[in-house]
Amino acid sequence: MMTLQENYQQIVDDHRKYVDQGNTIDYTFRKQQLETIKKILKDYETEIYDVLRKDLNKPDHEIMLTEIGIIQNELEVAIKNLSYWMQPEKVASPLTHKGSKSYIIKEPLGVVLIIAPWNYPLQLSLVPIIGAIAAGNSVILKPSEHAPHTSDFLARIAEENFDPSYFTVVQGAAEETTELLKQRFDHIFFTGGSNVGKIVMRAASEYLTPVTLELGGKSPAIVDEDANIQMAAKRIVWGKYTNAGQTCVAPDYLLVQESVKFKLLKAMKKQIKSLYGKNVLQGENFSRIINLDHFNRLKAFLNSDHIVHGGEYNEEELVIEPTILDKIDWEDPIMQEEIFGPILPVLQFENIEDALALIKSREKPLALYYFGENPRMQSQVMEYASFGGGSINDTFFHLANPHLPFGGVGQSGMGSYHGKAGFDTFSHQKSILKQTTKFDFPFRYSGGTVTSNILKKFLS
C-alpha cells in the first residue's frame, strides 16, 4: 500500500506527464474544459444548493449571487476572451534591434496546486481553476475539510467529468495538505488565513515555486459626514453580514464621522431587521458559523457593555445574530485580529485625515470601503490608503467583477486573479526576439573605438 507521499508523488507525476505531452496547449481543448464547468453548474445546480446548505446553511439568494453567479461571470469572460488572451503579444523593438520582431508567448506554467477555503467553498475553488485551465495548466485541488459536503461534491464532479491526470481533487485535513505541499508544483494558489499562508510560502520555497496568496485582514468601512446614510447603512449591513460575516472582504470594522454616527447606527439596525428578519437564531435566511471552535472564538467578543444591537446566539445551530458593538477602541481584543463573523465594531473620527492615518499605521487590509459624496475626498481616500481593492459607496461588489483584478497587498496577500488577471497569474510571459538574417549591423559586435563611434551616431 502506498504512503500518502508516494500517492501524491504519483498524482503529480501523472499530471506532469499529461502536461508535458502537450494535451493542454490547444485552444479547443481549453475551451472544452471551461464549457464542461459551465455544464456542471447547470446539470448539478440542485445538488450545489444542497451541499452549500448542508455545510453553511447558505440562503438560496446568497448561493446564486456569491457562489454560482460569480463563477458564471468568470466563465463567460474566459470563454469569450480565451482566443485573444492566448495570442502572442507583439511589442516594439528599439532602434538597436532594427530588423527584429519582438513578441510575448503566454506559456502554461504546468501543474498547479489550488488550496481552497471553506467560506465560499465552491466559488473559491472554481474561479482560480477557471484561470488555471484557461492558461493551459493541469489542476490539483485541495478543498477545505471544514466544508465536507462541498468537498465531496467537487471530488465527484472531477472524477466524473475530467481526466484524472488533468484535474484531481485531493481531500483531507492538515496532514494531507502538509504532505501535498512537499511535492513539486509549478504554481501554488492559496486562499485562507495569513498563518497558513506563511506555511504554504515556506513549503513553496523548497522548489522556488511561485505562489499566489489570497489572505485577509481588517478591512475598514469609512462613512463620512456627507454620505448617503440610508444607502450606506444598507450596503454595509449586506456586505458585513452576508455569509454570517465569513467573507474575506467583509467590512471588519466601521469608522464613522461622529456627527452622523447616531443616524447611521439607527439606519443599520433597521436594515438588519429588513434584510434578515426576526428568526435569525432559528437559521432562517442566515448562514451558520462553520464550526464550534470558530463559534466560541466569536462568542468571546460579545461583551454586553459594547452591544448596541444583536448579541444573541444559538450554540446548537451555530448561529450568531448580526451584532453591532459600540464604544470600541483600538486596544480591544476584537481589534487585534480579523473577526470573520457577524460582529461589527464601530469607531468614530472627527476628521477624515485622522481616520486615514490610523488605517495607514496598521497592516494593509484586503479591502477598503468609503462612503461619501465629495469626488475630491473619494479620490484622496482611494489614493492615500494602501489596500487590495475596494469600493466607493458600496461593499463587496468589486470582488464580483471579473474585469477587475482581485488580490491583496502586504499582509493581505500577494498576486491577483479573476478574468484576464487569472489567466496571467497562471501563465509565464515568455519573451521572444526574432532577428532578420537579411542584413547585419557591425556596431553590435566588439570593435573598439570605431564601433563605439558608429553606435553613438546611430543612437543620437
- Strand arrangement of the beta sheet that strand 427-434 belongs to: 89-91, 101-108, 427-434
pLDDT of residue 4: 83
Q: Are 102 and 90 in contact (CB under 8 A)?
A: yes
- Which are the catalytic amino acids? 214, 248
Residues 340-391 have pLDDT tens digits of: 999 999 999 999 999 999 999 999 999 999 999 999 999 999 999 999 999 9
Residues 50-106 have pLDDT tens digits of: 999 999 999 999 999 999 999 999 999 999 999 999 999 999 998 888 889 999 999
Distance CA 103, CA 83 (A): 17
Chain CA centroid to CA 34, Å = 19
Q: Are 142 and 116 in contact (CB under 8 A)?
A: yes
Which helix (H) or strand (E) is 211 found in, with range? strand 211-214
The residues facing 429 across adjacent strands are 106
pLDDT of residue 448: 56
pLDDT of residue 323: 97
- pTM: predicted TM-score of the whole model, two decimal places: 0.95
Chain CA centroid to CA 403, Å = 14
Cell of 174: 492538515
Report whether pLDDT(453) > 80.
no
pLDDT of residue 429: 97
Residue (of 277, 300, 291, 339) closest to 319 by Cα position: 291
Residue (of 253, 257, 267) closest to 221 by Cα position: 253
Helices (H), 324-395: 352-360, 375-384
What confidence tier does 460 reach under pLDDT thresholds 50, 70, 90? Answer: low
pLDDT of residue 282: 79
Cell of 449: 573605438
> In the chain, pLDDT over 70 holds for what percent of residues?
97
Distance CA 204, CA 340 (A): 27
Query: Highest mean pLDDT range out of 92-96, 226-230, 274-278?
Result: 226-230
Report whether pLDDT(444) > 60.
yes
Distance CA 72, CA 214 (A): 21
What confidence tier does 449 reach under pLDDT thresholds 50, 70, 90? Answer: low
pLDDT of residue 278: 81
Question: Residues 6 or more apart from 361 whose CB is under 8 A from it?
Answer: none
pLDDT of residue 304: 83
pLDDT of residue 322: 97
Distance CA 87, CA 91 (A): 13
Average pLDDT, integer, range 222-237: 98
What confidence tier does 441 reach under pLDDT thresholds 50, 70, 90? Answer: confident
Domains in the chain, ordered, with CATH?
A: 4-215+412-432 (3.40.605.10), 220-407 (3.40.309.10)
Average pLDDT, integer, range 220-235: 98
Residues 287-306 have pLDDT tens digits of: 999 999 999 999 999 988 89
Average pLDDT, integer, range 156-182: 96
Q: Identify each DSSP E strand in 334-417 by its residue range.
A: 343-349, 367-371, 389-392, 406-407, 413-414, 416-417
pLDDT of residue 65: 96
Whole-Å CA distances, 266 to 153, 312, 324 = 42, 19, 11
- Strand arrangement of the beta sheet that strand 413-414 belongs to: 167-169, 138-142, 111-115, 187-191, 211-214, 413-414
Residues 104-139 have pLDDT tens digits of: 999 999 999 999 999 999 999 999 999 999 999 999
DSSP 65: I
Report whether pLDDT(262) > 90.
yes
The mean predicted confidence, pLDDT, of the chain is 94
- Write down how long the chain is: 460
Residue with grid cell 445574530, as numbered in its chain: 321
Please state which of the ranges 97-101, 322-326, 394-398 shows the lowest mean pLDDT: 97-101
Helices (H), 290-385: 292-299, 352-360, 375-384
Residues 15-26 have pLDDT tens digits of: 999 999 999 999
pLDDT of residue 96: 81
Report whether pLDDT(455) > 90.
no
Question: Residues 6 or more apart from 325 whose CB is under 8 A from it?
Answer: 301, 303, 306, 307, 308, 334, 343, 344, 345, 346
Report whether pLDDT(458) > 70.
no
